[in-house]
Amino acid sequence: MLAAARDEIERLMPAEVRTALEEGAIVIDLRCRDERGDTGVIPGSVTVGRSVLEWRCDPSSPWADPAVARPDARVILVCADGYSSSLAAASLRRLGFDRAGDLIGGMNGWLEAGLPVERVSS
């Protein structure tokens, strides 16, 4: 299932995600509050819990969030290690997000690359 999902999506290295964010991509952090509190977040990212991702991103949903319900945008999903984000990105592809992808290595890959982190309270 994971391999099939990854065949459908664009997977980006941490430095590529940073560049994409600077170019206007939407970076969605799927991790729970405790994880974000422990490691911080990617500056400029938006938090959407994995359990509500499709509802928030689907423009036809009554629970859509205008910040992320943009199927024409480049959307990059982030989890802790890059597994659930791959599955979530494939799900968004099925919703019409043709430019949905994920961060290889997840937030841990971002941290290992030494890229900037914004601290949040847990």
Distance between CA atoms of 104 and 102, rounded to whole angstroms? 6
Residue spans per domain, the chain:
2-112
Are the beta carbons of 81 and 108 closer than 8 angstroms? yes
Task: Return per-residue pLDDT of the chain as tens, 122 residues.
Answer: 999 999 999 999 999 999 999 999 999 999 999 999 999 999 999 999 999 999 999 999 999 999 999 999 999 999 999 999 999 999 999 999 999 999 999 999 999 999 999 999 75
Q: What is the pLDDT of residue 114?
A: 98
Give this prediction's pTM.
Answer: 0.96
Q: What is the pLDDT of residue 122?
A: 55
CATH number of 2-112: 3.40.250.10
Are the beta carbons of 77 and 85 closer than 8 angstroms? yes
